[in-house]
């Protein structure tokens, strides 16, 4: 690996860590009026299109199953989500939002729309925003591809 590649990796990682912190901070502010946290919003958002098992949510979000399980249990306890039977796996129940959960997410929508418009403007328009998304998705795909090498026993030797 060249020094230039190492510097690019370091700058990318630091930039992504900073972005993560920035997104978490703004997400907390957006979610607060709905009575949610950013983490609750993330998990509820993952199951809006369709119910998913906790392990599936963790894969989509790139976090541990245990973290998602803890949040899912809290959402169920608060009446924002429910577990339903999973026809594909008896023990891995599906998490689905309740009407209260969908209503909470709907309360976030105006702030989310405003932030989206502000970011699109700041980036130079929707086309530039779309390109930013494509680059970040490509970076994630590339990291998935190379990460497998570091997960195999003895691969990093």
Which phi and psi angles does 91 have, rounded to 5°?
-85, -30
pLDDT at residue number 154: 56
Per-residue CA distances from 88 to 1, 94, 101 (Å): 44, 10, 24
Give the chain's length: 157
More confident residue, 79 or 1: 79
pLDDT at residue number 113: 97
pLDDT at residue number 157: 45
pLDDT at residue number 90: 81
pLDDT tens string 6-15: 999 999 999 9
Per-residue CA distances from 140 to 48, 129, 144, 152 (Å): 22, 17, 6, 19
Average pLDDT in the 97-109 region? Answer: 97
Q: How confident is the model at residue 28 (pLDDT cuts 50, 70, 90)?
A: very high
pLDDT at 150 over 80: no
Rounded CA gap, 92 and 55, in Å? 8
pLDDT at 152 over 70: no
Rounded CA gap, 157 and 155, in Å? 6
Phi-psi region of 36 (alpha: psi -120 to 50; beta: other; left: phi over 0): beta
pLDDT tens string 47-96: 999 999 999 999 988 889 999 999 999 999 999 999 999 998 888 899 99
């Amino acid at each position: 690996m060249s020094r230039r590649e190492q510097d690019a990796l370091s700058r990318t990682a630091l930039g992504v860590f900073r972005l993560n912190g920035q997104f978490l901070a703004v997400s907390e502010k957006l979610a607060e009026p709905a009575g949610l946290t950013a983490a609750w919003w993330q998990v509820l958002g993952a199951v809006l299109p369709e119910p998913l098992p906790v392990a599936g949510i963790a894969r989509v979000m790139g976090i541990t199953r245990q973290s998602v399980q803890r949040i899912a249990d809290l959402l169920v306890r608060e009446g924002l989500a429910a577990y339903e039977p999973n026809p594909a796996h008896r023990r891995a129940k599906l998490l689905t939002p309740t009407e209260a959960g969908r209503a909470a997410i709907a309360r976030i929508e105006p702030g989310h729309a405003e932030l989206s418009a502000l970011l699109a403007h700041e980036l130079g328009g929707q086309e530039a925003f779309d390109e930013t998304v494509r680059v970040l998705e490509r970076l994630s795909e590339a990291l998935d591809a190379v990460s497998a090498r570091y997960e195999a026993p003895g691969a990093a030797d």
